Structures are given as C-alpha cells and as structure tokens.
Amino acid sequence: MRDHLLDKLRKADTANKIGPLKKESDTAVLSEFEQSGVKFASTGRLEAVYYNALGKLLDCIVPTGGPEPILHEGGVYLGYWMESTGTINAELLSRFIPSVSASTYRAFAKHQREDGLMPYKVTPNGPVFRQIQMVTPLARCVWNHASLHGHDGDFLPAMYAAMSRHDQWLADYRDTRGTGGVEAFCTFDTGHDLSPRFWHVPDTPHLGDPAQVYPDSPILPFVAPDLTANVYCQRLYLAKIAEALGVNGEEWQAKAERSLQSLYAQCFDDEDHFFYDRDRQDRFVRVQSDVLLRVMACEVGDRAFFDTMLEKYLLNTRKFFAKYPFTSMAMDDPRFDPFSSYNTWGGATNFLSLIRTPHAFEHHGRHVELTWIMFPILAAMANMERFGQVLSPWTGEEGYTESYSPAILCVLDYVERLCGIMPTPEGELWFGGLTPYDFDHGEEIASHTAYARTVDGATYELVNLPEGSEIVREGESWMRFPSGVRIITDRKGELKGVLGLSTRTVQGTLHYRGTELAFNVKANELLAYEDGNLRTKRDIGLVYPTY
C-alpha cells in the first residue's frame, strides 16, 4: 500500500483533477498552488472531495478593482470581508497561494478612509464602510504571513501604518462609554446574523454610519468581548511588527494590557466563567454563544483558564460540543436553533468557527483535544459537494450557500493539519501522523493517506498507514515512526521533536538518520530532540469531554 500511495501521489495531476479552468487569472493562481508542491492522495472518499474543493477555491479568487486576484468570500457573498476573507481565510490560504493572501490584505489598506477606518468589505462596486465587522485580528494574520514568507519589501510597513490608523479610529469612535473596551453598535459589527445575542438590536449602525449608535435603543451600545479581545490581540501583534520594523513596541504592549483589563472588568462574569456583552444599562447580555471561542482565539488567558473553558463549555455536550462541533449557540439555551438552511449564527455549526478553532487550541498546546473536533468534521466533509457556510450540528449535512471559501479552506487546512505537511510561522514543519477516522456508519473516509509539499526547494512526502507513517525527502526515506504522533522538524527537515497526537500513549521507534530512537509519548506530551535523545519538554495531560 505504501508504494501504491506514493505512486498515486506522484502521478497526480492537479490541473487534470480539478478540471477546465473558468477564467484567465486561474492559470497563474493554479500554477502558484502547484509550486507549493501540495498534493493529496487517499483511499476512501476524501481525496475526491479535496480536489473538488480546490477547484471551487479558484472560483473564489477573482481580480477585483485591478489585475491582481483577490480572495472572495464565495457563495452569495460577492466580495471580501474583513471579518473572514481578509483575515482568517487569507491566513490559511497563505500556506498555499501566498500572493493572493498578500493582495487580499493589502486591499483593505488600499481602501482605507482618510480618517483611518478600514472597509468592512470590498465588492466589485468598491469599498463599504457601513459597519466594522471584525473577528480574527488582522495584525496576527499579517504577522504570520510575513513570518512564513519573509519580512522583506514594503508589505509589513504598509500594513503596520494602516492597522495603526484603524486602531486609532476604533479608540476614537467605538468607546463612547469610556470603558476602554470596543463597542458593538449593531448585529453586523460582529457578523452574528440572527444570533439571539443581538435580538432587539438593529442589524446596521444608525443611519448607516459606523460612528453612530441608534439613540433610542434601551440597550445599545454593547461593550463587546469579541471586539475588545480582537483589539487586545491586534495590539499584541502590532507590538511584534513594530519591533520587526525597528520601532519600540512598548506602547502597543501597554495598550494591549489596557484592552485586556477592560475585557475582564466589563465582559467577564466570574460566576459563569464566561464572557458576555455589557449593555447600556450596565447589565450582562447572558447569551452564551461562540463569542467564547472568538475570545479564546485572540490569545486571552493562560492554559489553566482555557482548560476551564474546555471543561465547562467547549467540550461540554450540553453547551457547544455537538456531534459536529462547534455550535454557534449553547445547546442548552432555549433560543438555540439547530437549523442550517439559512445564514444563521443562532445555533448551526459555522465553518468560520471551525477555521478559527485551531489557533485557540494550539496556542495552549491542546492538540489532541483539537482532533476531537477535526475527526467528526472531516467525516462530514467526506460527503460535501457544495461547500456551504454551515453544517447541521446533528447530522453534519451541509447547509446554506455554496462554494464558500471558509468551508473550502477548512478542507485544505484540516487535511494538512491532521495528515499532511504543514509549515508554521515559527519556521517549523509539522508532519501529521493521523488519518481521518470512520465515525459515520463505518464508511471509509481516508484510512490510508499520502501528502506532498515542497519547502525551500526540497520535496517532502508523508505516507500514513494504520501500521505506521513514513516521511520521504527528495525521494529517499527520511523518517519512519508509529502512527498517532506529529513529527516536528525545521524547514530543512531536521528533527526537532515528537508530539503525542493521540488520546492513547504511543510507544514505538523513530527511525531517523540511521538511528533508532525508542520513545513513549503521552497525549499532548512534547518530546524535544536534543543531543541525540528525545526528552520530555512539555507534559500537560488531557482535558476530557463533559456532559
């Protein structure tokens, strides 16, 4: 099977698999993807879904306002949004087609208003400034892109200047109550369409002006935890960017700390251990929604704090840990709506939540717990044809719209993260020694996989079989190891460590450079390779699901 999969992988013709191209710009975009060397082969249904997704990704990359291709949201969403396309979507795309990610980021700076506000979306008709609509911090995405592809050129300076001006606009216009937090003036400020969080709140700001709040509202403005956490994290990364540009980042660090203090003072409820909006009457809006996941993805809190969130909420089957997680509302809330046939954040599992999830978990070393989300979602993906915006949390059936870029990128990301070769902004390569599990009716998804990627001119291939995994470098066997772990190397493929990626303890031997390294690695345990030996560097155990 090993030789069969490698042969299948090497003979795979990406262009042939995705079919005829539909527009002139597709040729260059596909060529750039092929330059990454990324290919995927498997038994089961997932391989066909993967290339179907890749073909539809090209439909979402469109020249807009100029000759450069830009990533679009896809489906019924014509254009690109700061909430998603211009941040987390482009961050994932950066590993595959970096020029399009860079163009997408730059487009928001290009269309920035003179007063510093960035558009919340740009469509073929131009930029739109009606609301702010922020979720994933732009500065984190920009920093990770530059770290993956180099800090040379004017990309970082241009984006730093634009993001600094945008930060000042938010401080000037979205803190009317003087709390130090960031206020939501409407539902669309956070992209939470139909969420009970915003019942009896207008969808858009007063008179379509992002600087005005509806004056007759008894509850607005909300001091919003997700918006405040966004600015906190944004400022942390603006400090990193400043230092990289030779500017003192201490002022940004101080601003970030003030944002964090405001987040806890205004939005954190000690009794529930949850983040809520605080309304105009100084009361918590006690709706438990995916606001929690958004705040956690903004690097708020230490590992112990995150672990408590896992136990109480994210891995709780009464709250957000549905059969196909994560729901956009807590399931034990009477307002929870599981239906997915329309654009809703009232309960259904949203792909935007799913692509924001890995950073929240991996930031705290919760890699195994993350696989418990990925396995059922990959099972749902194996049946996907349209790549809709939402999934049914009960059945995994895809719902509203089609060719939605977050769903498409989720396929590419989860495959690479679980059983592929993933470059990180920290200069590492992650080789995932797991395969999707047959959760649904025992139907095979991809129990044998192979994945390829070219890094700094060197070709790497990873084969995952039930009996073990193998890394092939430049056509020669490089490492062999038991399944259930992640091998971590530098960009030259030199061993740095082994991570336990399974709930069980994995025992076995790593064959590397003519040596045999016997090891035992527990769930989430990180073994560092130092002086020819594997030694425990981190051992944090597991956080188990609750009911």
Residue in the structure block whose two tokens are 């915006």: 389
39-81 pLDDT, tens digit each: 999 999 999 999 999 999 999 999 998 899 999 999 999 999 9
- Both structure tokens of 332: 């034990």
Residue 401 covered by a domain = no
CB environment 70-105: b (16+ within 10 A), e (fewer):
bbbbbbebebbbbbbbbbbbbbbbbbbbbebbbbbb
Rounded-to-10 torsion of CA 23, 423, 167, 304: 140
In 3D space, the residue among 510, 447, 448 whose CA is nearest the CA of residue 480 turns out to be: 510
Look at residue 65 in the predicted model and tell me its pLDDT.
87
Look at residue 70 in the predicted model and tell me its pLDDT.
97
Residue 71 covered by a domain = no
Percent of the chain, pLDDT > 90? 98
Look at residue 443 in the predicted model and tell me its pLDDT.
86
Concatenated DSSP letters of 130-162: S-----S-HHHHHHHHHHHH-S-SSHHHHHHHH
Amino acid at 253: Q
138-180 pLDDT, tens digit each: 999 999 999 999 998 999 999 999 999 999 999 999 999 999 9
Look at residue 441 in the predicted model and tell me its pLDDT.
85
Residue 84 covered by a domain = no
Residue 188 covered by a domain = yes
In 3D space, the residue among 414, 297, 271 whose CA is nearest the CA of residue 353 turns out to be: 297
Residue 453, pLDDT > 90, answer yes
Amino acid at 309: M
DSSP E strands, 372-490: 390-391, 421-423, 428-432, 449-455, 458-465, 468-473, 476-481, 485-490
Residue 89 covered by a domain = no
Q: What is the pTM of this model?
A: 0.98
- The Cβ of residue 437 has, within 10 Å, a number of other Cβ atoms equal to 16
Rounded-to-10 torsion of CA 521, 523, 526, 531: 0
Residue 195, pLDDT > 90, answer yes
What's the rounded Cα separation, in Å, for the pair 526 and 433? 14
Check: CB of residue 95 under 8 Å from CB of residue 169.
no
Residue 385, pLDDT > 90, answer yes
Residue 178 covered by a domain = yes
Average pLDDT, the chain: 97
Which residues does 253 contact at the CB level (< 8 Å), separation at least 6? 235, 236, 239
Local structure of 451: helix, strand or coil:
strand
What's the rounded Cα separation, in Å, for the pair 268 and 181? 12
Q: What average pLDDT does range 348-352 have in this prediction?
A: 98
Q: Based on the structure, what is the number of domains in the chain?
A: 1
Give phi and psi for 293, each to the nearest 5: -65, -35
Query: How does residue 370 score in pLDDT terms, banded at 50, 70 and 90?
Result: very high
281-316 pLDDT, tens digit each: 999 999 999 999 999 999 999 999 999 999 999 999
- Please count the residues of the chain: 547
Residue 276 covered by a domain = yes
Residue 153 covered by a domain = yes
Write out the residue range of the structural domain in which residue 211 sits: 138-300
462-517 pLDDT, tens digit each: 999 999 999 999 999 999 999 999 999 999 999 999 999 999 999 999 999 999 99
CATH of the domain at 142: 1.50.10.10
